[in-house]
Amino acid sequence: MSTKDIQQLIDFISQSGLDEVNIETTDLKISVKRYGSGVPTAPATAPSPAAFAPVAPQPQTTAPSAVAAPTVAAAPKAETSNYITIKSPMIGTFYRSSNPETPSFVEVGDSVTEGKVVCIIEAMKLFNEIESEVSGRIVKVLVENATPVEYDQPLFLVEPI
């Protein structure tokens, strides 16, 4: 099952109203749980990259919950209406740089152009470079480094040029 298939499954489950789905085949096990209507709480620690690794003797992948990403409510809508949001194209772990010793790909105030790498999302031990689809200036980073992100979750606010 590809990452895209898993994303589509989670999207389907989130729209279906189901609270929990378990799928198990001979070489894959997926468990998707949705939290109740209350506000989800963040885990105390970020899951390690091993959380997406196969488990011997049977590979196992645990997909994050299908809870919709929280919206940016701190700023009034009038202030953010002219900003463009760069969103996560997949589920995984968000990283601002390629490794802990290197600087972040972008900082608040940096200019970005279409195609410039803004972050990396690790999904199932694959590191995917996420490129900006717009040109502009980074106004806000919406996600902490090394934290899990959901599909379509806002990552950055960009003021278009």
98 and 135 assigned to the same domain: yes
Confidence (pLDDT) at 138: 96
Confidence (pLDDT) at 93: 96
Contact present, 142 and 156 (Cβ < 8 Å): yes
Which of 139, 102, 103, 105 is closest to 121 using CA atoms? 105
132 and 87 assigned to the same domain: yes
44-72 pLDDT, tens digit each: 444 455 545 555 545 445 544 444 444 44
Domain, as residue range, for 7: 3-52
Confidence (pLDDT) at 38: 46
The CATH code of the domain that includes 113 is: 2.40.50.100
151 and 113 assigned to the same domain: yes
Instruction: Please report which helix (H) or strand (E) contains residue 32, including its range.
Output: strand 29-33
Q: Encoding tokens for residue 55? A: 């488990």
Count of domains observed in the chain: 2
98 and 152 assigned to the same domain: yes
Contact present, 110 and 116 (Cβ < 8 Å): no
Q: Which residues of the chain have pLDDT under 50?
A: 37-47, 51, 57, 59-60, 63-78
Single-letter code of the amino acid located at 148: P
Sign of CA dihedral 24, 30, 31, 32: negative
Identify whether 107 is part of a domain. yes
Cut 0.75: pTM above it: no
pLDDT > 70 in the chain, percent: 64
Identify whether 57 is part of a domain. no
Confidence (pLDDT) at 34: 64
91 and 39 assigned to the same domain: no
44 and 95 assigned to the same domain: no
Identify whether 48 is part of a domain. yes
Phi and psi at residue 38, to the nearest 5° = -70, 170
